[in-house]
Amino acid sequence: MKTMRLFPLELRRLLQSRLTWLMMALTVLSPVLGLVLYKPATSTTMLSMYLANPAIAGGTAGAILFGLLTIFELDRACRSRVDILTDAVVSPLTTALTRLLALLAATVLTVGLTMLVWLPISAGLIGAVFTGANYVLAYLLFLGLALPLGVLAAAAAYQFTRRADLSIVLFIAFCALSLTVWAADWQLCWLNPCVWALSDDFSNLRVFRSVAWMRFTWLLALAGVWTISYLCIRQYGKGVFGSLARSVRRLYRPVIALALLACSGTAYAAQPFLDHSNPDLTVMSFYEIPYAEGVTFVHRTAQVFPDTDAGTVTGRASYQFRNTSGQEQSISFGINPGYAISNVKANGADIPFTVSDYQEYNEALLEVTIPAEEEVELTMEYSGFPQESMPTMQGGKELSDEYLCLENSALSPRVMNVMPGEAGYPAEIEITLPENMLAIPFGSSEAEVVAEHEDGTRTWRYEHNGAGGILYAGDYIREDIEAGGMTIEFYYGRKHQAVMEAAQAVDAVKEVVDYCTEHYGSLSFGTGETLKLIQSRVAGGGYATTGASLLDEADFTAANLGNTEKGGGAGEVMIHELVHQWWGLGNMFDTSDPTSPWSAEGLTVYTTYRIVKELYGEDYAREHYVDQWQKAVDDYYLNFYVRNPEYLEMLPEQVQLAISNSLSQVRQYNEMPLKIYKAEQLVGGEEAMDQILHGLFNRELNPMYPYLTYQEFLSACALTEEDLNLG
Amino acid sequence: MELKIQNVSMTYPSGKQALKGLNLDLKSPSLIGLLGPNGAGKSTLMKLLVAALMPTGGNILVDGTPLNKSESQLKASLGYLPQDFGLFDELTVTQFLDYMAALKGLKNPKAAIREVVAAVNLEEKARAKIRTLSGGQRQRVGIAQALLGDPPFLIFDEPTVGLDPEERIHFRNLFSRTAQERLVLLSTHIIEDVQSVCDQIVVIHHGTILFTGTPEQLIASAAGHVGVFYEREAGQEAGLHITARVNTSQGIRCRAVADKLPPYAQAEEPSLEDAYLYLISREADQ
Amino acid sequence: MGKIFRYECRRLLWNKFFIGLAVVLLLYGALVLHAVTILGVSHTAPFSPWSFGDYLSRMLPLLWIGMLFFLTFYTSPKARRAAVLMDTTPMPPKQYAWVRCAAALTGGVLLSLLCMGEAAVFYGRMFHWYGWGSLLLPALTVLLPALVFALGSGWLLGRLRTWLVYVWMAVPFLLAALPLPEVLSLWNGRFFTAYPLTLGTLDPAFALPAGAAAAQVVLLAVGAALLAAGGSRRKAMR
């Protein structure tokens, strides 16, 4: 084929141009933007900061640069009038295809170079949690595939308009759309994929799959658009439509263009990742479904088979109900919108069922009519790719042989309108997992292995009481720590072992739990005997339930553990994050008010200081805590807006909020600990303060407003706000 | 205006000797055709004459003053069209000429621009951006800027490249009219242009002057050295240079130049082209 | 002379490139003003000479690049081809070079004014603050030596090799990464954040330590000298 013969020539010509090398060099450099300027991934995991952001920024800049290079290169032939010569020998269509292929080959070369250059830098920045697979996938998907998209879009713009200036405007507008209006729409932001976080310790297949889907959707779309623009390439002195009419005579060409566009449209519409939940989060219609009359819950079993390669779930669920109404009853279940339901049987007979199109809070409604028999055993099968609700925070439904989290209806259909029986909602869940994964029910129950299979999988079983339930499983390391009179089961990702050991995590857990239990009392959500501390995949925060507490991996990254604002060293940040189990979870603090320094951080930083003082001595604690607080507070009081609040008030509301938020950080992390430190001296020393804090931790809660307030703290200290004024 | 080129040599830093001891007198009014094969040294000579290069040997005198002392005087009286030049594409024709007029320090640029734009037939394109012009039109802008301000000394390097035959004739006449009171140096490969307008010819080859004189003198020097014959009659004589082959009903008829014509060749009246080719071929044979 | 200057300005400033550069500059300026300057530097007001100087220091790399881009109008291969015609005119090469430099400098000044105008609008809109007079000294201190040096060095480099001008564009980024001594801290913008803290008063008036002032004067002088050297350099053999 002529194109194949011309391709090496065209590529050589392209690579002889200095501009090409300039664009390539700039693209290779551009990931640096993600380290300093453009940081779309907001999470603080190492991979978000040092892999996702550079790769996305590099992809964005590279696509724009290569788009401009494409326009320049396509226009060059016209500008230098060499097209008159080449068109006489080769069809302009062949030339266009050859040029496109050469430009695409240049993008491949650039991606290869970029990956080579950034490999040691990324490995150095990311540290122990760096893996080659994450690196390759992130750079290929976030950066690599952006470049051909830029080339295709720019080439199409030029081939339609045949004017460099107009093409540049169109191309830049197309890029700007992705960076602004489409930025929050994960399927439309072709340039800058919607990635908010990459996990350091667990896999990121879900995020990678979603970005790959978006990229391929756009590749198909832009390849289709390019093919149409290819048909519009001016020939025989005709205009755009005349040339198009001429080019479509070879029928396969428009057919290919339309097929590409149709495939892209289908990929857009049939994406499997996100559900269509009602965006109005105030609507909770599923909770208003009336209970089925005379039906009570007896028992539930579920066998769940995650396919860790495909990221899908297959399961069988069986429900036993007592129906004393003597009538058929409609039972509602919440199911994950990605699941298909089949084989629904009541007492062995097929029964009809419907699944609603309407979705709410990541659930669709499955309605089943059970017969008018007293004992009803309802069985069903479900399978599919679990879907998520938040396009801008994807990754929660990660499912791989390193990690999975199946919550409520993603684990098995969740019954919604059946009253609990005498034993509540007893359930027995079995899940079959690869042998390296530990199953960790989020709660007080323990999972045990009941079968080991020849294919290297193991079946875990646990009991649970509740209509839903959350199960974590992953490649975890479990450390049992005796502390505070109970056993702490500390689970953290295997990849995080080096970081956790460097931060002396086990010691920190023990110190903190011992110290806090002794000084403030046992954790309210511990069972008294055991407490699971589970490091979760990055999720935007932690939470707790009876017997288990979740620690977000983002709080334990090497970078965060080196954050001096929270403590002097890695181990101290570990202590800080663990102290949050006492001061920060559950009902302890209301959402923080940016105008006030009172928040979970004040007491947490203060307690950290106390523990560090006990561990490393007074001098160390003073230098790294009290003196640092004092310096930050001094800086705070010198701040222009603090001294001249009238100027802050002049600013637009959003700007005001951003500035006061950053100032309130200082107040929460430094001013408040210093105030508590001052209070400690005013109430008569550390012991007296410990008494007060013990009292506050174990106070009787007001169900209307269960949160600990500053006023309560002051009253407990018998001090006024003025007493604690600094300065 | 008078230019004296005395024993001028030019050796480039690369070691290439472009001109070897050139001697030439140019006096206005005159239209001098500069002929020579590619690489003969024509462009180097022109660059020396416009003070774009300094000779490595010899002197160039402008009205008796050495060029290095009268550069500004020379430039004030010079119009130059190089073979390869660029224009400011973002300006219109008039703006560009206005810019050049300012550089040349013309007192009444508007009238001068109007005049040269009319002379090169670009009135319709006077307000067009230069980037929109065709190759021939750009060439005409180049000629116009050289004519700007009526300079007494004009140098044109391949001025009719890219022009259609009608335009070429127009410019030939223009150069001829211009030369009535000026010194015009015209370098070209198109012998026809030289024959029709030049009153003096300078032939350069390998950096030396082969001939200076009128076209008639050049033609006369080739008398008896041009002949025609049928190819079938031809032998293998050395020194016979075929300049044309025409298919006729009686066979292929050849025209050739030679120091000594073979007996089967019938002598013909030489043209300027024959004479030029004879001169160059004789040099090559030596 | 005036006419040539006007035409050169027209060539440099009346085109899509200049408009694009201005748009990029304004967008980047807005980003800096809204993300950094608004917070004020070293406990001073966002509209203090220190914060304004910090803003200009952050804009300087783009102004530097813009300035050098103007020079590419004179040093590109296309421009060199046009220069064949210009070189044969009686215009003295030195004067011609000065006029062209003046046009490039005008471009740089215009871009600088755009930056300053943007800051002025920002201060007016956000803080109803209009005391622009106090900002002139930091503006001159930061911009004038840097722009003249960019012009002089770029002019000379461009005459040697066109691509050197493009390489030269990376200099501010290199300087930002280098740990420069205190006297040179104006060259990477750290002066405005570090020096006021050493003055020991709140909201100090703008002051320049002798060392830094000398460094700027030297920069200006070297720039001017390079400009003179580049302008008067006789063309070599082609």
Q: Are residues A431 and A299 in the same domain?
A: yes
For the range A276-283, what are the long-range contacts, defined as Cβ-Cβ under 8 Å and sequence gap of 24 or more? A276/A337, A276/A357, A276/A359, A277/A337, A277/A359, A277/A360, A277/A361, A277/A362, A277/A363, A277/A389, A278/A358, A278/A359, A278/A360, A281/A361, A283/A360
Suggest the residue from C21, C37, C126, C166 to mutate for an interface test with chain A (most A CBs closer than 10 A). C126
Q: Residues of C numbered 158-197 whose beta carbons fall under 8 angstroms of chain A's beta carbons: which are they?
A: 163, 166
For B141, name the nearest residue in chain C, comparing CA atoms only: C85
In the numeric block, which tokens belong to residue B95? 């703006």
**How many Cβ contacts (< 8 angstroms) between chains B and C?**
77
In this structure, the answer to whether residues A426 and A306 fall within a common structural domain is yes
Q: What is the pLDDT of residues B10-26, one digit of tens each?
A: 998 888 999 999 999 98
Examine the domain organization and report whether A459 and A598 are in the same domain.
no
Q: For residues A231 and A240, what is the distance between their CA atoms, to the nearest angstrom? A: 9
SS3 assignment for chain C: CHHHHHHHHHHHHCCHHHHHHHHHHHHHHHHHHHHCHHHCCCCCCCCCHHHHHHHHHHHHHHHHHHHHHHHHHHHCHHHHHHHHHHCCCCCCHHHHHHHHHHHHHHHHHHHHHHHHHHHHHHHHHHHCCCCHHHHHHHHHHHHHHHHHHHHHHHHHHHHHCHHHHHHHCCHHHHHHHCCCCHHHHHHCCCHHHHHHHHCCCCCCCCCCCHHHHHHHHHHHHHHHHHHHHHHHCCCCCC
Is A358 in contact with A366 (CB distance < 8 Å)? no
Helix (H, G, I), strand (E, B) or coil at A664: helix
Interchain proximity C7–B75, CB inside 8 Å: no
Q: Which of residues 62-91 of C touch B (CB under 8 A)?
A: 78-91
Say whether B102 and C15 touch across the interface (CB within 8 A): no
Instruction: Tell me if A663 is assigned to some domain.
Output: yes
| A338 shares a domain with A459 | yes
CA–CA dist B190, B186 (Å, integer) = 10
Contact check, Cβ <8 Å, A22/C45: no
Low-confidence ranges of chain A (pLDDT < 50): none
Encode burial over A648-674: b for 16+ CB neighbours within 10 A, e otherwise.
beebeeeeeebbbeebbbbbbbbbbbb
Nearest to B187 by CA among B214, B153, B155, B212: B155
Residues above pLDDT 90, as percent of chain A: 36
Interface test with B, best of C3, C74, C89, C234 (most B CBs within 10 A): C89
Is there a domain that residue A534 lies in?
Answer: no
pLDDT of residue A586: 56
Contact list in B for residue C88 (CB cut-off 8 A) is 50-52, 75, 78, 80
Nearest CA in chain A to C200: A638
State whether residue C78 sits within 8 Å of chain A by CB. Answer: no
Residues in chain C with CB shorter than 8 Å from the CB of A22 are 166
Q: Name chain C contacts of A662, Cβ cutoff 8 Å.
A: 39
Q: Is residue A243 part of a domain?
A: no
C82 and B86 in contact by Cβ < 8 A? yes
Domain that holds residue A325: 293-474
Q: What pLDDT score does C89 carry?
A: 87
Q: Which domains does chain B have, with CATH numbers?
A: 2-214 (3.40.50.300), 219-285 (no CATH)
Look up the CATH number of the domain holding residue A458: 2.60.40.1730
C140-196 residue pLDDT tens: 999 999 999 999 999 999 888 888 888 898 898 888 877 888 888 888 888 999 999
Task: Show which of A474, A502, A524 is a domain's final residue.
Answer: A474
- Using an 8 Å CB-CB cutoff, list chain A residues near C127: 647, 650
Q: Residues in chain B whose beta carbon is closer than 8 A to a beta carbon of chain C? A: 12-13, 47, 50-54, 72, 75-76, 78, 80, 82, 84-91, 95, 98-100, 102-105, 142, 145
**Quick check: C91 and B103 CB within 8 A?**
yes
* Per-residue pLDDT at A269: 92
Tokens of A721: 């706000």
Neighboring chains of C (3 or more beta-carbon pairs < 8 A): A, B
- The chain C residue lying nearest B11, using CA atoms, is C237
Burial of C69 (0-12, 13-18, 19+ CB in 10 A): buried
**Which candidate from A18, A165, A640 shows the least CB-CB separation from C45?**
A640
C-alpha distances in angstroms, C84 versus B52, B80, B155, C81? 8, 9, 13, 6
In 3D, which of C135, C171, C174 has the Cα closest to residue C53? C135
Of B13, B78, B89, the CB nearest to C88: B78
Note whether C163 contacts A165, CB cutoff 8 Å: no
Mean pLDDT of B45-69: 88
User: Is C91 in Cβ contact with B52 (below 8 Å)?
Assistant: no
Domain boundaries, given as residue ranges, for chain C = 2-232
Q: Report the residue of chain B nearest C91, measured CA to CA.
A: B103
Provide the 10 A C-beta neighbour count for residue B211.
18
The tens digit of pLDDT for each residue in A434-455 reads 988 999 998 888 899 999 999 8
Q: Which residues of C touch A643 (CB under 8 A)?
A: 202
* Domain assignment of residue A212, yes or no: no
Are A647 and C127 in contact (CB < 8 Å)? yes
CB contact under 8 A, C45 and A165: no
A-chain residues within 8 Å CB-CB of C166?
22
Where do we find the tokens 């790959």? A212
Torsion of CA B77, B82, B86, B87, to 10 degrees: 40
Is position A274 within any domain? no
Identify the CATH number of the domain in which residue A669 sits: 1.10.390
Asked if A22 is an interface residue toward chain C (Cβ–Cβ < 8 A), one would say yes
Q: Search chain A and give the residue with CA nearest C170.
A: A26
C5 to chain B: nearest residue by CA? B99
Residues of A in contact with C176 (CB under 8 A): none
Which of A 611-670 lie inside 8 A of C, CB atoms? 635, 638-641, 643-644, 647, 650-652, 655, 659, 662
Rg (CA), chain B: 21
CB contacts of C44 in chain A (<8 Å) are 640
- Each residue's pLDDT expressed in tens, for chain C with a length of 238 residues: 788 999 999 998 888 778 888 988 998 899 899 888 999 999 999 999 999 999 999 999 999 989 998 998 888 888 888 888 888 888 888 889 889 999 999 999 999 999 999 999 999 999 999 999 999 999 999 999 999 999 999 999 988 888 888 889 889 888 887 788 888 888 888 899 999 989 888 899 999 999 999 999 999 999 999 988 876 654 433 3
Residues A24 and A146 in one domain: yes
Q: What is the pLDDT of residues A499-520, one digit of tens each?
A: 777 777 787 778 888 888 888 8
Separation in Å, CA of B62 to nearest CA in chain C: 15
**Interface predicted TM-score of the whole assembly (ipTM), two decimals:** 0.88
Nearest CA in chain B to C14: B90
Residue of C nearest to B88 (CA): C82
Q: Could you tell me if residue A280 is inside a domain?
A: no
A310 plus A417 within the same structural domain:
yes
Partner residue opposite C163 with nearest CB, options A18, A639, A659: A18
